[in-house]
Structure 1
Amino acid sequence: MAESNHDSEHTAECTEAPEYGNAVSSARRVSMARDEYGNLPGLPRLEYRLMEHKSKLFLVSGLLIFEGSILPIILFYPLWYLTDLRHGILFAIITSFFGLVSGLEFAHRSWRLIHKNDKYRPLDGTRWRFDFTHATLSICYTIMTGILIGASIPHEPLVRPLAIPVPLLFIAAGMLCIVTGAMSALGMRTACKVSSIPKGAPQPPYVLTAVEDVVGVDGGGARHFRRRLLERYKASKYFRRLIAELNWFWGIGSVINGAGSLAAVWVIPSQEIAYGVGWGEPLGFFVVWTVITVLWTRRGLREEKKLWAVNSRDKVAVMESGTDTQNTN
């Protein structure tokens, strides 16, 4: 009876979930092992502990933030005000540092994805096909680099255009979240393979894809994490709700912040101040949104645990009540 109830609980919960074909068809649907959620039948475990990878993640994240926000500012103002360097040379120096850390990390990420060992590739992925986040980042980095090089070429560099790459990146990422969030809410399906999600499956919010790709490759979670994340998303409507909320939070916030920063760059009378705003303001937004996201996620996962446990108990009670009635009859 316990095993029957267990399977019924999981089946009932999964009927509300989107289907993702072969990506999770071979994965286990039920997890009885005790983890951070305790013994919760039917709730797949993510089996990934961030603190075990904290050194690399914090180091890489810190270097990327330094390169993409702090370094341009600390190079620009001293060189602009305290030296006699021609402005073209000044921005050539700054631009030469852009992509140093992100380029190395991007190359390392590329190697992991194309290595003959498919450990880090998306589920059902091929060797020469990157995950969705890698493809979108490639486009964004190309555009940002083009802007930096193009605006640096004139004898007197175009300072304001040189300040807009990060706001544009935030707008692009935010729009991606909003579009995929709307597609998910409307029940639309993917037009192509999206990381581990096959073509023709229900479109997930981009936050789910970003978590899958970043943790799966950069965080070392590998294919096992990709599989478990999709299992969790498939099984738990509470987890799907949390992902949707975070997706709208980042999507709307990123677009508003990026558009505001972009407008400020062009409206502020001093181009020198505008340059600092374009590179520095998005960092403040990112830090605040990240802190809120961490707190929100912790609270959401605790709530998921409580609601899943209550829902499971209610289903067992209904099934036992029906069994008792049949036995009486």
Structure 2
Amino acid sequence: MTTTTDPVPSGHLQPPASTTTEPVSAIPPGHGNDTTSTSDTTNSKPSSVRAGNTPSHLNLETFPTTTGPVLDTSELPGLPRLNYNLWDYKIKLSIVTFLLVLESSLIPLALFYGLWFRTTLRHGIIFAIITAFFGLVTGIEFGLRSLKLILPPDTYRPIGGKRWKADFTHWTLSFGYTVMTGILIGASIPHEPLVRPLAIPVPLFMIQMGLMLIATGYMNVKHKPTWCRMSSVPKGERTRPLVYTIVEDIIAVDGAAGLEYRRAFMARYEVSKLFRKMIAKQNWFWGWGSLLVGIGTMVVIWTVQQEIAYGIGWGVPLVWTIIWIVVTVVWVRRDLRHEKEQWARDAMSSVSNINIGEQNGVAAAT
């Protein structure tokens, strides 16, 4: 018995006898580490993408147009999800923020002006009362952080971190608060307290953080290695902006996101060029802002009357922080939206390239 093969209809291409699907990368072109070669990034394709089978969440119809729907970026191949929403913890976040604002600004200002001008208490007693309140909230928070970091499970510790070693943010804040507390105690000891030095702890802390942010930003740009372990970044690896470390540590420990978030945050940083740019921009924004406002506040403190200087020293940092946080929230949301949209476009471009390449291959085979 003879078996015949139906002829290929006109307008169709005869597929080759056998085809194989090459594995593809999860990173669209133009992403990945800065050290990745051009050839590697050019040939990379998104995962879960096969020729002729465009994922539903990358449908061309969902791309933004002047009159059509916007791009759906709820799921993106190869882009690690952070799986953390601050608004899920809005009650805790609001309480902690309110207590920190009370401790770092409102209570010192209220006690100073209320007791200084409305009572006959000796000035040394006034500042003893103020100093007693300073560090109360942060002391409790530091205690909870320490407990989380030394618990037997490594739920909250940095990637590769050891049980009895705190994360980098913990050491950074500990140094700053130790200096601030020392100034408050030392300047309160004289019979007539030194009001201007008592007004500089927060601006001085801002200068410290500004210098660290700028220094790590510079080291990152110049591809300098870290001098020590910075939380999940081992010693000797390329330095990352301090904003990266602070966000990782605060959300992982204080936000209770844990080790899973640290891994996702690191993966997102490593594969997404736009995410790295966003972190770098925020690092410069907070670094230069903190440094310049801190220095400017210090200058004003030493040039105005001491009663005014105290209000400047404890009030200006709060106003600056509120403004910077509002700008940061708007800025980061915009950058994250742009990152996801660009990632989806790159993925769609990869899909198109795969389809065109395979069609050309089929045509050549026939």
Considering the TM-score relative to the shorter chain, is it more than 0.5? Answer: yes
The answer to whether the 8 Å contact 1:187/1:203 transfers is yes
Give the Å deviation of 1:3.
Answer: 7.9
Give the Cα–Cα distance (whole angstroms) in 1 for the partners of residues 56 and 108 of structure 2. Answer: 49
Match of 2:331 among 296, 308, 318: 296
The answer to whether the 8 Å contact 2:196/2:302 transfers is yes
Give the Å deviation of 1:323.
Answer: 2.7
Whether 1:10 and 2:46 are equivalent positions in the alignment is no
Give the Å deviation of 1:271.
Answer: 0.4
* 1:52 corresponds to: 88
Unaligned runs of 5+ in 2: 1-18, 37-45, 49-54, 58-71
Whose helix fraction is larger, Structure 1's or Structure 2's? 1
Which amino acid in structure 1 is aligned with residue 325 of structure 2? T
Structure 1 residues 325 and 30: alpha-carbon distance in aligned structure 2, compared to 1, 3 A threshold: closer
Structure 1 residues 17 and 143: alpha-carbon distance in aligned structure 2, compared to 1, 3 A threshold: same
Q: Which shows bigger deviation, 181-190 or 163-172?
A: 181-190
Give the Cα–Cα distance (whole angstroms) in 1 for the partners of residues 56 and 121 of structure 2. Answer: 64
Match of 1:104 among 126, 129, 140: 140
Give the Cα–Cα distance (whole angstroms) in 1 for the partners of residues 20 and 194 of structure 2. Answer: 70
The answer to whether the 8 Å contact 2:187/2:195 transfers is yes
Which amino acid in structure 1 is aligned with residue 363 of structure 2? T
Give the Cα–Cα distance (whole angstroms) in 2 for the partners of residues 44 and 201 of structure 1. Answer: 22
Match of 1:284 among 319, 327, 330: 319
The answer to whether the 8 Å contact 2:203/2:297 transfers is yes
Whether 1:224 and 2:224 are equivalent positions in the alignment is no
RMSD: 2.2
Query: What are the superposed Cα offsets for residues 196-244 of structure 1, whole Å, 9 maximum, x if unpaired?
Result: 1112221111111110000000011111111100010011001111111
Whether 1:172 and 2:241 are equivalent positions in the alignment is no
Give the Cα–Cα distance (whole angstroms) in 1 for the partners of residues 138 and 222 of structure 2. Answer: 35
SS at match of 1:8: coil
The answer to whether the 8 Å contact 2:196/2:306 transfers is yes
Match of 2:288 among 235, 240, 252: 252
Structure 1 residues 321 and 16: alpha-carbon distance in aligned structure 2, compared to 1, 3 A threshold: farther
The answer to whether the 8 Å contact 2:32/2:272 transfers is no
The answer to whether the 8 Å contact 1:163/1:279 transfers is yes
Whether 1:327 and 2:362 are equivalent positions in the alignment is yes
The answer to whether the 8 Å contact 1:120/1:223 transfers is yes
Q: Give TM-score, length-normalised by structure 2.
A: 0.82
SS at match of 1:122: coil
Give the Cα–Cα distance (whole angstroms) in 2 for the partners of residues 30 and 162 of structure 1. Answer: 58
* 2:270 corresponds to: 234
Which amino acid in structure 1 is aligned with residue 337 of structure 2? R
The answer to whether the 8 Å contact 1:160/1:275 transfers is yes
Whether 1:190 and 2:226 are equivalent positions in the alignment is yes
Give the Cα–Cα distance (whole angstroms) in 1 for the partners of residues 313 and 35 of structure 2. Answer: 40
Which amino acid in structure 1 is aligned with residue 307 of structure 2? E
Whether 1:315 and 2:350 are equivalent positions in the alignment is yes
* 1:26 corresponds to: none
Give the Å deviation of 1:41.
Answer: 0.6
Give the Å deviation of 1:189.
Answer: 1.6
Query: What are the superposed Cα offsets for residues 32-53 of structure 1, whole Å, 9 maximum, x if unpaired?
Result: 998x941211100001121221
SS at match of 2:195: coil
Give the Cα–Cα distance (whole angstroms) in 2 for the partners of residues 202 and 116 of structure 1. Answer: 30
Structure 1 residues 141 and 62: alpha-carbon distance in aligned structure 2, compared to 1, 3 A threshold: same
SS at match of 2:25: helix
Which amino acid in structure 2 is aligned with residue 96 of structure 1? A
Give the Å deviation of 1:16.
Answer: 3.1
Q: Percent identity?
A: 50
Match of 1:70 among 103, 106, 117: 106
Q: Give TM-score, length-normalised by structure 1.
A: 0.91
Give the Cα–Cα distance (whole angstroms) in 2 for the partners of residues 297 and 30 of structure 1. Answer: 26
Give the Cα–Cα distance (whole angstroms) in 1 for the partners of residues 298 and 123 of structure 2. Answer: 22
Unaligned runs of 5+ in 1: 20-28
Structure 1 residues 11 and 37: alpha-carbon distance in aligned structure 2, compared to 1, 3 A threshold: closer
Query: What are the superposed Cα offsets for residues 245-278 of structure 1, whole Å, 9 maximum, x if unpaired?
Result: 111110011101111111110011x100100000
SS at match of 1:117: coil
